[in-house]
Amino acid sequence: MTVTIRDVARLAKVSVATVSRVLNASAPVRDGTRARVLEVARELRFAPNGAARTLSRRQASAVGVILPDLYGEFFSELLRGIDLEIQRSGHTLLVSSSHHDAHGVSVAVRAMRGRVDGLLVMAPEVSTASLASALPEGLPAVILNAPATPGAAAAVTVDNKGGTRAVVRYLAELGHREIAFICGPPRNADAGARLRGYRAAMRAAGLVVRDAFVVHGDFNEESGWRAGRELLALTGLQPTAIFAANDAMAVGALLALHEAKVDVPGEMSIVGFDDIPIARYVTPALTTVRVAIDVLGARAAALLFRALSDPVAGGNGHRKVVPAELVVRHSCGPRPVYATRR
């Protein structure tokens, strides 16, 4: 059926051990035999069986990534960053997605057992406790965008607090007082942090956060669009600026404003969060908070490798915060002279 190392050994008239040694350059082999083995291997188009190799070596040269979803540019950037980093050390990527709840994550983690050397887990909607209990014993894991978790080798998060504060401060400097906020999904860790950040920053700036100005979304464009319409429909006091918890929603809100013929940034300012690639290509180009998502992924992968190579130092619940900085484009302007539009 499929060609194995024994076939190569037989045809090259050597033992399987020698073939293995030649192929992995793991021990000296006489030039003549090496050449013969390589010749036969190439001729037979031999490729070692990964499972067998993993089993024998007790290392898979692969890392698993567990994600809640795969929709949108955030994940594609994240994966790209991860992939870039792990490929440098000859590893491959196992991706498992659409695991929102604790049970799903637990199943995914179990399925990875024995096929990967370590795990990158992003499960922002799963509580720390259930996440901790889902992590397997002997498998180092790095948590993305969630609080440090017992049992995890490390956790990487975005500086949500710093980012939100920068945004609110910036808007306040432009004269805005009525700043609305479009939330992310209720149980999402990042979403929560950004909401808290917004609240804190508002207070710090001496502004009042009004219940009606905090509307919720779920991180995708359409929910941003709905939230935008919702804000426009407000009777009475109206916001002069909208801060969306991520770019996708900001883009959606932008569309809603555009449809309603509300001028951005003339009549309404808008800010996003993440700086996904398209943020600079919408009109007006979106002012947002730059999070180097690919770097976030790469950093997490690097942390995982450290934990892999040095289990003691790596296991210490390391914690890394990647910076989030304001990038000003064209979606914000000074507070309109007449605070209420139309």
| Residue numbers at the binding site for its own copies (CB under 8 A) | 1-3, 45, 47-55, 60, 62, 70-73, 75-76, 79-80, 83-84, 87, 92-98, 109-115, 136-138, 221, 251-252, 254-255, 258, 277-278, 280-283, 285
| Beta bridge partners of residue 215, listed in sequence order | 182
Q: Is 17 in the site for DNA (CB under 7 A)?
A: yes
- Binding partner of 27, given DNA, its own copies, none, CB within 5-8 angstroms per partner class: DNA
Q: Is 288 in the site for DNA (CB under 7 A)?
A: no
- Decide whether 186 or 311 has the Cβ nearer to its own copies: 311
- Decide whether 114 or 334 has the Cβ nearer to DNA: 114
How many Å apart are CA 150 and CA 127, to the nearest integer? 12
Q: Which of 29, 102, 148, 212 binds DNA (CB under 7 A)?
A: 29
Min. distance of Cβ 98 from DNA in angstroms? 24
3-class secondary-structure state, position 213 = helix
Min. distance of Cβ 31 from DNA in angstroms? 8
Min. distance of Cβ 27 from DNA in angstroms? 5
- Decide whether 14 or 304 has the Cβ nearer to DNA: 14
- Binding partner of 33, given its own copies, DNA, none, CB within 5-8 angstroms per partner class: DNA
* Nearest residue to 77 via CA among 322, 326, 309, 253: 322
Min. distance of Cβ 69 from its own copies in angstroms? 8
Min. distance of Cβ 12 from DNA in angstroms? 9
- Decide whether 166 or 253 has the Cβ nearer to its own copies: 253
Q: Is 87 in the site for DNA (CB under 7 A)?
A: no
Subset of 30-69 contacting DNA (CB under 7 A): 30, 32-34, 46, 48-49, 52-53, 55-58
Question: Do 275 and 295 meet the contact criterion of CB atoms below 8 Å apart?
Answer: no
Distance, CA of 131 to chain centre: 17
How many Å apart are CA 255 and CA 248, to the nearest integer? 11
* Nearest residue to 117 via CA among 286, 342, 314: 314
Subset of 99-138 contacting DNA (CB under 7 A): 114
Question: Do 325 and 169 meet the contact criterion of CB atoms below 8 Å apart?
Answer: no
How many Å apart are CA 15 and CA 152, to the nearest integer? 43
Q: Is the peptide bond before 28 cis (omega within 30 degrees of 0)?
A: no
Min. distance of Cβ 109 from DNA in angstroms? 15
- Buried b / exposed e along 20-35 (16+ C-beta atoms within 10 A): bbbbeeeeebeeebbe
Q: Which residues are within 8 A (CB) of 238 and not within 5 positions of it... i.e. 6 or more apart?
A: 178, 231, 339, 340, 341
How many Å apart are CA 286 and CA 251, to the nearest integer? 8
Structure-token pair, residue 151: 């049992």
Query: Which residues contact DNA by CB under 7 A?
Result: 1-2, 4-6, 13-18, 20-21, 23-24, 26-30, 32-34, 46, 48-49, 52-53, 55-58, 114
